[in-house]
A and B are shown apart, each in its own frame.
Chain A
Amino acid sequence: QQQVKQSPQSLIVQKGGISIINCAYENTAFDYFPWYQQFPGKGPALLIAIRPDVSEKKEGRFTISFNKSAKQFSLHIMDSQPGDSATYFCAASKPIDDMRFGAGTRLTVKP
């Protein structure tokens, strides 16, 4: 029941580079789009989130770009660091409903 499709499945980036992870959704009732970061052996933790009334949100090196007409959103990690190596999940939810997660992207940042 994947309602949120995420790509790529894995990503390797050099230190200092830009990591870009993309997600697409079908349900136009979704109105909350978070990104979660998960390290091995840990639970996911909220990284950054956006609502569809804005097209971009930036927090430090992390930016969400949101394209409502295309039903797509993406996570950009600027100046990627080895400590950013983790699995990233996009998600979406709508009122009185539960979070639907993408399949995840395993990011490796090489020193």
Chain B
Amino acid sequence: EAGVVQSPRYKIIEKKQPVAFWCNPISGHNTLYWYLQNLGQGPELLIRYENEEAVDDSQLPKDRFSAERLKGVDSTLKIQPAELGDSAVYLCASSSQTGANTGELFFGEGSRLTVL
């Protein structure tokens, strides 16, 4: 069974440019997460979807970040415009359970963003 697939794996852009990351969760997983992982830190939640509904986006910087999960399957995370401080790894995870404390999160390999 395929795991969580993310693309691109690496992206280098100039500041003020837009960037988008794509995630395809494990088939049948209704809950999808986007996490931000800064170097040497643990993942921090940006947004959680249950099916196509964003149920927790309180940590998403909405002035420049946006996300969507059309049809409740794959998802896109966009940054526009990117800033130097956005350089990080963006992790996507999925789960077959609703609620983070009910089961395992399956992570993709992440998209590493470098903003110059």
Query: Interface residues, chain A, CB within 8 Å of chain B?
Result: 1, 4, 6, 30-32, 34, 41-46, 49, 89, 91, 93-99, 101-104
Contact = CB atoms under 8 A, between A and B. Distances in A.
B99 A44 contact: no
Contacts of B42: 4, 6, 89, 91, 101-104
Nearest to A104: B42
Contacts of A1: 44
A43 to B, nearest CB: 3
Interface of B: 4, 33, 40-45, 48, 56, 91, 93, 99-102, 104-110
A44 B107 contact: yes
A42 B99 contact: no
Given A43-B4, A43-B108, A45-B107, A97 B93 contact: no
B26 to A, nearest CB: 12
Q: Which of B91, B93, B105, B108 has most chain A Cβ within 10 Å?
A: B105
B43 A101 contact: yes
10 pairs of A and B residues whose beta carbons are closest in the complex: A43-B107, A101-B42, A32-B101, A93-B101, A93-B100, A99-B100, A46-B104, A98-B100, A98-B45, A89-B42
